[in-house]
Amino acid sequence: MKKCILTSFALVGFVTFKAQQNVTLNVRLKPIQTLVVNNAQKVVNLDYVTKDDYANGVTSINADHLSIFSTGGFQVKVKSANAALQNGSKNIQANTLQIKASAGSDAVNGAQYAQNVQLSATETTLVTSTHGGVDKKISIEYKGAGANAYLDNYIAGQDPTVYTTELTYTIVSQ
């Protein structure tokens, strides 16, 4: 009898029972967008020095001006702090200045770049992409008005007369 009990315990010890548990694994992706202005290009000057500058306008091309990181599609927008750039009692309307976006040295695949956007105190879209990217570059060209638009904006005794506004660039997911 003892042998029978020991044998039955030995057999039960070798019997395995199947147990099952489930685990849910989620990969949770949150949107991340960063936008950095090239440190060497934090100040952009449009210098009117010659008659031709006043007649034709001036341009400042800033290669790789913006660097972006985005986990998916995005838009880059720009706006001016003010509708007019002031210097004392005189002003230059922001919408006389234009911004043109283009692909930088490491471009975003399939991005669409706005051409000749008038600067405004409301956000205007410069770049649209359905793809994300890491450290992608966007070049920005700033253009001041020609046709002698600023001829009467020089103030005697100031060399140079400076009109200033702060631009805010924003990146948002789409």
**Structural domains for the chain:** 33-149+158-173 (2.60.40)
Task: Give percent above pLDDT 70 in the chain.
Answer: 91
What is the structure's pLDDT at 13?
A: 56
25 burial type by CB count under 10 A (0-12 exposed, 13-18 middle, 19+ buried): exposed
pLDDT of residue 36: 98
pLDDT of residue 112: 98
**pLDDT tens per residue, range 100-143:** 999 999 999 999 999 999 999 999 999 999 999 999 999 999 99
Confidence class for position 10, pLDDT limits 50, 70, 90: low
Beta strands in 72-166, from DSSP E residues, in sequence order: 74-80, 84-87, 90-93, 98-103, 112-113, 117-118, 124-129, 133-143
Q: What is the pTM of this model?
A: 0.86
**For residue 17, what pLDDT band results from cuts at 50, 70 and 90?**
confident
Q: Give pLDDT, residue 134.
A: 97
Confidence at 8, pLDDT banded by 50, 70, 90: low
How far is the C-alpha of 97 from the C-alpha of 139, rounded, in Å? 17
pLDDT at 6 over 80: no
